[in-house]
Amino acid sequence: MRKLFTIVSLLVVLSFVLTACGGGAAPTQAPAATQPPAATQPPAATEAPAATEPPAAGEKVTLTIESWRNDDLSIWTDKIIPAFEAKYPNIHVVFAPSAPAEYNGVLNTKLQGGTAGDLITCRPFDASLELFKQGYLTSLNDLPGIENFGDVAKSAWITDDNKDVFCVPMASVIHGFFYNKDIFDKYGLQEPTTREEFMNVLKTLKDKGETPLVMGTADQWESATMGFQNIGPNYWKGEEGRQALIKGTAKFTDEPYVKTWQDLADWAPYLPQGYEAEKYPDSQTLFTLGKGAIYPTGSWEISQFEKDSGFNLGIFKPYVANAGDQCYISDHTDIAMGMNAKTPHAEEAKTFLSWVASDEFAALYANALPGFFPLSNAKVTLDDPLANEFLSWRQECKSTIRNSYQILSRGEPNLENELWRVSAAVMNGSMTPEQAGQEVQTGLEKWYKPQ
Amino acid sequence: MQSSKRRSQIPVHVLVFLAPAVLLYTLFMVVPLINSLRLSFFEIVNQNQQSFAGLQNYIKLFTDSNFAPFFWRALRNNFIFFAVHMLVQNPIGLLLAALLAEGGRVRDFFRTIIFMPTVLSVVIIGFVWQLILNPLWGVAESMLKAVGLGAWFGPWLGKPETALVTVALISVWQFVGIPMILFYAALIGIPDELTEAARVDGATAWDTFWRVKFPLILPTVGIVGILTFVGNFNAFDLIYTMKGANAGPDFSTDIMGTFFYRTFFGQQLQLGNPTMGATVAAMMFLIILAGVLIYMFLWARRIQTYEM
């Protein structure tokens, strides 16, 4: 009896091992499997004919959009898609987003498994370039409407030899600081423009018992994207510094970079208590509840904040080191849309992409999503005052993009991931700004020849 | 003659009964597992072409500075994660089982309550505990303050020194019901005569437990230990839910599962690397296999002879 028990229990354990390992190791068991399979298939009515054949006229085709913008679900389903469907009644479009942090992994898995949607929202630069190289995205050189975009707009979604464009640029976002006007007015504070003014504002607010700066480091990317890449361009002179990194004439151990991290370290005493475990949604909620004065972030927050905050919102641009310095802003080409090369509805997908390239879409998108600024040459009037203010910075300051996005994140260790990690560690006080520079530089030198 | 011939034939009914399980198991477990092991000996050159690479991936995993430090850190963290479970989860499970086995009217109630977190989704567990421990609006701080220990509170999930142990303890809270139920089942299986005889001989409850009951449930102690080992070295979901694939802060909660995920599927601008991912998975398999073999040949054998 006992012996039997032992044998049976051993079998149980063994099967556990196999089950567990099989589950972890099998490439077929991708986490994407838990998501509803993307509707690459036509709806039930058209299912009878082979899915690869173009459907006969009059039949309705469903296109699915893959995206990481789950915040925009209602805007797509209520505003953008109905406008398109009104024009093209026999195409039905479904917006199917996944969580931002998981999007790349989920999308790659879906593409490899052949279950991805017909239209793919493109991350800028290498992630999408790699998809194009692997044949998952099609070239859109001859797409009607692609001529509406300038070279800068297309730069994030073009091959290195500038020959093939594979995504239709949709929008860029601009980094900056939001602030609570009511709190500023209460203490008679002005929008800070220099580093000194900014630190003084933080100190005053702290002395008055407010939470001066809202930001958490738990998700790591906020520290890099909304901290490092937000204020950094003023130190490394925007494009000049970014190109110097690519050429290898500048290093992350140089003064501008260490100074940027030093600023982040100096912010730490003004952050909410327990910011080390504070996540992005915590920060958003804290700020919109009026419990913090300043929130370093970007224009993509406008619509959410305008809806949720019960106070007067203001924005100011990243501070410069000394009064009168040339200012730089991070005006990041962020979103585009491409076509799944294996879609059975290529014609319809192209129709949709042409519409995305049109002036009508630019105006609709920019106004439905204030804070996402169109990249096409279309003249778009924005209704939102905050969005207009963000856009006005393009006149005063020089634009640049995040320095880790073009070319520099092609190797191991991945520069973007490294910047997340060290920026969060600097804010947590577990790494000095000099160490951060040294670690990032060492990582980059390992694989990037010009450095 | 007739009968002996029939006996030597393949017993068809046995095959029929085995077939469904064996087929499904082979199709969905054994084949993917072997295929994954196979993948770890290949590399993808360009345009999804696989080419045989021998042990190159393994050499890379143990020597390349982009992989080796991550691997060893993940392995070390995984052993810490396992140690917390062995030192906290299983003793508490045993204690609870011993209390439950003593009987009492509210036994069923407590048994159900304690087992409940085990059947909850890990997403719910992760979400609830993040709210409880949230330094901005969590109840943990006010509860500690209420008993005068407010100064002890910290953003435990956000500090590199405490994050891993905090996540491990949350996992302990979730799964403590499993060792409890296994120990409980073993304890109530012990015949009353043995405990009664011990009592007649003048043994205290303490002595009875450690000298009579505990030796009798040793096989279950082994099973619980090995299940914990296997479960912990395959752990992934709780850390992924609470800390994301980057297993922050500063990779302090990175265990084999999250390391595998990042390598295989990629993360943000980092592209996935299926062959290196398969190599990590193969290492996970080998570690677990080693643990199970040690258990089978050292622990299980010893117990068997001990019982006889």
Is residue B35 within 8 angstroms of chain A, CB to CB? yes
Best of A1, A4, A5, A13 to disrupt the B interface by mutation (most B CBs within 10 Å)? Answer: A13
Residue B179's pLDDT is 95
Residue A451 vs residue A427, higher pLDDT: A427
Based on its alpha-carbon atoms, the radius of gyration of chain A, rounded to whole angstroms, reads: 24
Give yes or no on whether A57-171+333-384 and A173-331+395-447 have one common fold. Answer: yes
The Cα–Cα gap between B31 and B12 comes to: 25
From A3, A442, A85, A382, select the one nearest A252 (Cα to Cα). A442
Residue A117's pLDDT is 92
For chain A, domain boundaries: 57-171+333-384, 173-331+395-447
Give the burial string for A379-393 (b: 16+ CB within 10 Å, else e): ebebebebbebbbeb
Tell me the mean pLDDT in the region A324-337.
Answer: 90
Residue the block writes with tokens 């850390």:
B239
Residue A9's pLDDT is 54
B106: closest CA of chain A, how far (Å) = 30
SS3 letters across chain A = CHHHHHHHHHHHHHHHHHHHHHHHHCCCCCHHHHCCCCCCCCCHHHCCCCCCCCCCCCCCEEEEEEECCHHHHHHHHHHHHHHHHHHCCCEEEEEEECCHHHHHHHHHHHHHHCCCCCEEEECCCHHHHHHHHCCCECCCCCCCCHHHECHHHHHHHECCCCCCECCEEEEEEEEEEEEEHHHHHHCCCCCCCEHHHHHHHHHHHHHCCCCCECCCCCCCHHHHHHHHHHHHHHHHCHHHHHHHHHHCCCCCCCHHHHHHHHHHHHHHHHCCCCHHHCCHHHHHHHHHCCCCCEEEEEHHHHHHHHHHCCCCEEEECCCECCCCCCCEEEEEEEEEEEEECCCCCHHHHHHHHHHHCCHHHHHHHHHHCCCCEECECCCCCCCCHHHHHHHHHHHHCEEECCCCCCCCCCCCCCHHHHHHHHHHHHHHCCCCHHHHHHHHHHHHHHHCCCC
Please report, as a single letter, which amino acid is at residue B238: L
Q: How far is CA A224 from CA A99, A261, B184, in A?
A: 19, 10, 50
B12: closest CA of chain A, how far (Å) = 23
**pLDDT of A255 above 70:** yes
Residue A40's pLDDT is 35
**pLDDT of A42 above 90:** no
**pLDDT of A41 above 70:** no
Tens-place pLDDT, residues B31-79: 999 999 999 999 887 656 788 888 999 999 999 888 899 999 999 999 9
Architecture field, domain A173-331+395-447: 3-Layer(aba) Sandwich (3.40)
**pLDDT of A55 above 90:** no
Best of A21, A415, A439 to disrupt the B interface by mutation (most B CBs within 10 Å)? Answer: A21
- Lowest-pLDDT choice from A9-18, A64-73, A223-232: A9-18
Reported pTM:
0.75
Residue the block writes with tokens 């990779």:
B251
CB pairs under 8 A between A and B: 205
Please report, as a single letter, which amino acid is at residue A213: L
Residue B7's pLDDT is 57
Query: Under DSSP, is residue B43 helix (H, G, I), strand (E, B) or coil?
Result: strand
Residue A18's pLDDT is 46
A114: closest CA of chain B, how far (Å) = 14
β-bridge mates for residue A94, sequence order:
A64
CB contact under 8 A, B227 and A27: no
Is residue A108 within 8 angstroms of chain B, CB to CB? yes
Is residue A8 within 8 angstroms of chain B, CB to CB? no
% of chain A residues with pLDDT over 70: 87
The Cα–Cα gap between A39 and A59 comes to: 16
Is residue A219 within 8 angstroms of chain B, CB to CB? yes
The Cα–Cα gap between A84 and A172 comes to: 22
- Lowest-pLDDT choice from A25-34, A114-123, A395-404, B271-280: A25-34
Which positions in chain A touch B266 (Cβ < 8 Å)? 104-105, 108
Q: How far is CA B287 from CA A21, B42, B57, B72, B291, in A?
A: 11, 21, 17, 13, 6
Which positions in chain A touch B155 (Cβ < 8 Å)? 273-278
Query: Under DSSP, is residue B222 helix (H, G, I), strand (E, B) or coil?
Result: helix
From A303, A317, A358, A111, select the one nearest A233 (Cα to Cα). A317
**pLDDT of A27 above 60:** no
Tell me the mean pLDDT in the region A389-417.
Answer: 86
Task: Report whether B277 contacts B264 (CB < 8 A).
Answer: yes
Of B29, B135, B265, the CB nearest to A278: B135
Tens-place pLDDT, residues A102-144: 788 888 888 888 899 999 999 888 888 888 988 899 999 999 9
For chain B, domain boundaries: 12-52, 66-307
Which positions in chain A touch B270 (Cβ < 8 Å)? 409, 412, 414, 416-417
Tell me the mean pLDDT in the region A142-154.
Answer: 85
What's the half-sphere exposure (Cβ side, CA atoms, 13 Å) at B252? 23
Is residue A414 within 8 angstroms of chain B, CB to CB? yes
**pLDDT of A28 above 50:** no
pLDDT band at A15 (very low <50, low <70, confident <90, very high): low
**pLDDT of A35 above 50:** no
Architecture field, domain A57-171+333-384: 3-Layer(aba) Sandwich (3.40)
Based on its alpha-carbon atoms, the radius of gyration of chain B, rounded to whole angstroms, reads: 24
Residue A227's pLDDT is 94
pLDDT band at A54 (very low <50, low <70, confident <90, very high): very low
Furthest C-alpha separation in chain A: 87
Which positions in chain A touch B236 (Cβ < 8 Å)? 24
**pLDDT of A288 above 50:** yes
Which residue numbers in chain B have pLDDT < 50? 1, 308
Is residue A279 within 8 angstroms of chain B, CB to CB? yes
CB contact under 8 A, B245 and A101: yes
Residue the block writes with tokens 């089982």:
B97
Within 8 A by CB and 6+ apart from B97, the residues are B179, B180, B181, B182, B183, B184, B186, B187
Residue A269 vs residue A382, higher pLDDT: A269
Is residue B223 within 8 angstroms of chain A, CB to CB? yes
The Cα–Cα gap between B162 and B75 comes to: 17
Residue A47's pLDDT is 36
The Cα–Cα gap between A356 and A338 comes to: 10
When the candidates are 2.60.40.650, 2.40.40.20, 1.10.3720.10, 1.20.1050.10, the CATH number that belongs to B66-307 is 1.10.3720.10
The Cα–Cα gap between A244 and A105 comes to: 31
Is residue A48 within 8 angstroms of chain B, CB to CB? no
Query: Under DSSP, is residue B267 helix (H, G, I), strand (E, B) or coil?
Result: strand
